Every structure is written in C-alpha cells, then in structure tokens.
Amino acid sequence: MPSLAMAADDGLPRLGLSPGEPQVRSATPSIPFGINPAESKEFVLDFHGYLLLPATLGVHNRPVTQRTDLINPTLPNGDPNYDYTGGGTVLHAPPLMAQDLRSFEYTGAVPTPWGQLNFIYGNKTVSGTVIMAASTFSDAAGYYNIPAQLGVNDAFITVNATKYFGFPLQLYVGAYTGRYGAMGAYDAGRYATPLIARTNSIGETITTGYKIGEFFLVLEEGLGGQLGRPPIGLIPAGWNDFADANVGATFVGHVHLGLAYGGLGRLGLHYLAAWTQDDQVASGLVPNGQITVLGADAQVTAGRYGHLYVGVAHTQAKDAATVSGAIEILNARGGPELIAQYLGPNSNGNGSLTTFGAQYDLSVARLVFGQLYTGMSPDVLVSLFTVGTSVSSDDKDYNGVFKVKLGGEATYLMKSWLGVSERFDHVRLHGADSKQAFSIMTTRLLFHTGWRSRDEFALHYSYFQSGSGIVAKTGFPPGSGPDANPDRHVFTLSGTFWW
C-alpha cells in the first residue's frame, strides 16, 4: 500500500477523484482509499466503506437574557423558578460556527458525520457500483433529516475496454460525481473542496490515454444531466432540501486533457460547461443559464520531496440562476448557491470567479530516509494549503470581493498508535476587512491501531477567533434563523475507518 506521495497504482493517471472515493479527507497518514476496480476474471462482489463519526460540541458564554413572551399565564414572570435568565457557559451541538460546507468559509477543520457503503459487482472488464451514503445516523441524530440520508447516492457501471482496443479506455455510465481539482494526494484536499468543479449527473465519462515513452497523455470526456428538476409549484421545504423550482433541467459537458510524466507528476487542462435551456420554470420566460469553467492544474509527486498541487480556475456565470446543482463550484451547488455565496442577489447570476489553490504535503521521514522509509516508523507530516477566489459580479456589493483561506498542519506520528497534530486556518471572506475574517487553531490527539492502519480516533480542540462580522448560520435551512455569535471553543471526538 503506498503511503503519502507514492503513486497509488500504475493505471491511467488520475485527473480527479474516482467516483467511488469519499470527498472527505483521509486520515493521517494520507493513503489511498483503496477502491480499485476488481482484478478478478470472474464476477465477484466487492464491498468497501467509509465511516467518519464525530461527536462535536461548542462551548460559549451565554449573555444574560430574559424572555418575556410567556404564553402560559399561570406561570408569572418574575418567578425565579421559571424565568429564563441564562448566563454562564452554554454547550452547542452542533457547534455554532462559520463552517457551512456550501460557503467559502468551510475549512473542514471540524469534522462532520459521513458514511458510505460501496457495493461493487463485476470483474476486471465490467462492474456495477452502488454507493449508499449519509451525512447523519438516525440513532444518534436529533431528527430524521431526509436530505442527509442520501440513500443510493451513486450507481454506475464501469467498463474497462482496454483489452478490446489495445490502448487504455475506461467508460463510466450512470449516476456519479466527477471531482476535478482534488488538491490532496488521494483525496479532495484539506478543504475537502474540488478546486475546479464537481459534477453531479447521470451520464457517461470516457477516459483514454496514450503512452509515449515516459509520458502519458490522458483525455477524458463526460456528458450528463440530472434525473429530474424541481416541478413547478414545489414549495421549498426540508424534505426536498429546500429545492428551487426556478432552476431548469441542467446538463453538463466536460472535457479534460492531462499529460503525466512517469510517476512524477501531471498537468491537466479542464473545461466544463453546465447549461439549462428549459422553458418550464415558475417565473415564466427566463434566459438560458450557463456556468462554464476553464481550469488548469498540476501535481507533482516528487517522491521524498512530497506532493505538490497547484491549480487555477476561471468560472463564468451567465444568467446562472436557473442552472441546477449538476455542477458545483467550490461546493456551491449550481447557480442559486453561486449567487448566494459569491455573486450576490442582484447579479442575476452574471459574474465570474477566478480561483486559485495549492497544497503541499511532505513526509519528513521520507525526505530524510528516502525509499528506506516505509511508513512503519515515526514521521512528521507537514501540509500547507490555500484557496483564494476573486469575484466579478453584476451586483456592485459583491463585485471585486476577494476571498482567501490558507492554513498549515503539522502531524507528528510518534508511535504506531499515537500522534499529535496542530492545524492553523485563516479565512478572509472580504479581502482586507478583518471584521469578516476568522482563524481556527486546531489541536488533535490521534490514535491508530498501527502505523499504516486505515482507522483513526482523534480528540480535537478547535479555538475560533472570529471577527465581529462573522456569524454562525442558524435555522432550518441554515441562514433562515437569527444569526448567532460563533462558539469560541469546539471539542470533537471522532472515529474514522475505511476499507
């Protein structure tokens, strides 16, 4: 099994994450999720899974307040037994923090629940995959949140036609995600955010390659759409994930060109276009919407010198309010969330994002000992990461906004079972405005069952230092309730395991 900065396999160079891989980051040390296609000639059933199970609470000082809206007249105000006077320390689960996955503020420093079970049946030529997933577990949840129980989240057929054509050719058909701009060696990176784009569609993806000496030219093409669209008249509600009936049927096409050199690195060019030309929208005749992304990235797997990823992307939105979540930009689903998070309500979905990102991961033991280091002895892992985006929008209040987040993490694996990690994140949501900036200092105590185990148990403490303009979204959906001051202290106890 490769460890950090070692090649995962000898197949086609990866232009993004494979559909079956979880988007959340892998546990320390970073190793592949191990979801390779079946290698058997015979049909076999393969079973993989990933669990991330955190218990998280936020600690805050509650101001002394008193509600006066008592509706039971038999209980008089002023009675100390029944008046709510608050004050003192308060606990929050989930914590009140500026960590909305769909927003730029998200860092992934505080884990949230995720589970998936991958069932794969097939052989090395053809296989079918069904992935059931959830971001909640009912026996521990406060309520049954339908959208968080994703059910069958992905279902697709994989065909490896290499033996028929004499050159690498892989085909995906079905419902699956495409993640481009994965900053980590084997995951979406420390921010768990595909830098260039993510597609959520039912369709096809064809990947082929041609080897010229040490070079490997990779070409990938994909086309798909969503299974349905919110029907006209649908009222946004919790059960339908607050669907926007104004988005139209959306399709996404994408093409990617990569050039890899041995196991050393890869260059990639990416073009994605999502569009809608639907006349069935509640608001009447609307212009066709489009979101296009042009991106380039490079990753260098420099052996003992670590893994480096650098990427840029330019996202152009044109009347994007009607484009659905078939495409995600920085985890924002489609035009409505792109407008809400970046372009502004008065943009009419017109604007652009110019995004850059980089991540560098280094194993100090591997740097010092080279190939002698096998991952079975103490190590220090260093990771540096950043993402920034510049907004150009027709909404003057949002035009010119520059958002950036950066951070670093150092992990000392001192024993096969024990490690300690320190991570720092700084997020600026509006350029130099320090009121809209916050920092997170996260200390983690890590426990594993072995040097290269696929499990991790961690005790986290995160300290949030927030500017006065930073609020935690509350309500259902988040943002519909009163904004709240974020918690300063967040404690997490988490377990992770994948197979």
Partner 1 sequence: MPALSAGKNAFWPGAGANLSLTYGNALVTAYASYFVNLKNTEYQGYENAFRGPGFGTAWILITPQPIGTLRLQFRMGAFSEVAAGPGQWGWGIYGPLLAVRGYGEAIYGDWDMTPDLHLTFIHGLAIVPGVPESFPRGDYFAWIETGTSSYVHHAHVGLTYKNQYTLKLHYASDYGTDERTYLNTALYELPRDGRMDTFLAETRWTSYPWGQIGLSGGLYNFAHAASVGDGIWWGIDWTQGAREMIGKFIGSGSHGNGKVAVISAEYDFSVAPILWAPRSFSGQAPDLRVAVAALLHFTVATDDPLYKKASGYYLGLETEYRMTSLFSVMFKSYGESRDSNFGRYSVYSVNPGIAFHSDWWSTDRIELYYSRRFYSTAADPNSAQPLDHHMVALGGYITF
Interaction site with partner 1 (CB under 8 A): 47, 49, 51, 53-57, 62, 67, 69-72, 75, 81-84, 86, 90-94, 113, 115, 117, 132, 134, 136-144, 146, 149, 151, 237-239, 449, 453, 455, 457, 474-476, 478, 480-482, 493-497, 499
271 or 457: CB nearest partner 1: 457
Phi-psi region of 306 (alpha: psi -120 to 50; beta: other; left: phi over 0): left
The pair of three-digit structure tokens given for residue 472, joined into one six-digit string: 């935690």
The pair of three-digit structure tokens given for residue 113, joined into one six-digit string: 């629940």
140 or 432: CB nearest partner 1: 140
**What is the rounded distance in angstroms from the CA atom of residue 73 to the CA atom of residue 75?**
5
Task: Give least dist CB 381 to partner 1, A.
Answer: 21
**What is the rounded distance in angstroms from the CA atom of residue 251 to the CA atom of residue 200?**
10
86 or 469: CB nearest partner 1: 86
SS3 helix, strand, coil % of the chain, rounded to 5? 10, 50, 45
Task: Give least dist CB 121 to partner 1, A.
Answer: 15
Task: Give least dist CB 378 to partner 1, A.
Answer: 21
Helix (H) or strand (E) holding 336: helix 334-338
55 or 232: CB nearest partner 1: 55
b/e per residue, 148-180, with b = 16+ CB within 10 A?
A: bbbeebbebebbbbbeeeeebbbbbbbbbbbbb
Task: Give least dist CB 147 to partner 1, A.
Answer: 10
318 or 444: CB nearest partner 1: 444
CA distances from 357 to 189, 221, 384, 389 (A): 10, 23, 11, 9
The pair of three-digit structure tokens given for residue 302, joined into one six-digit string: 């420099």
Which residues, in sequence order, are CB contacts of 32 under 8 Å at separation 6+?
1, 2, 8, 9, 26, 186
Task: Give least dist CB 490 to partner 1, A.
Answer: 12
The pair of three-digit structure tokens given for residue 229, joined into one six-digit string: 């669209």
> Is there a contact between 52 and 23 (Cβ–Cβ < 8 Å)?
no
Task: Give least dist CB 82 to partner 1, A.
Answer: 6
142 or 228: CB nearest partner 1: 142
**What is the rounded distance in angstroms from the CA atom of residue 178 to the CA atom of residue 139?**
31
Task: Give least dist CB 7 to partner 1, A.
Answer: 26
The pair of three-digit structure tokens given for residue 473, joined into one six-digit string: 């979204």
> Is there a contact between 49 and 455 (Cβ–Cβ < 8 Å)?
no
Where does residue 210 rank: exposed (0-12), middle (13-18), buried (19+ CB within 10 A)? exposed
63 or 262: CB nearest partner 1: 63
Task: Give least dist CB 477 to partner 1, A.
Answer: 8
89 or 371: CB nearest partner 1: 89
Task: Give least dist CB 417 to partner 1, A.
Answer: 9
292 or 494: CB nearest partner 1: 494
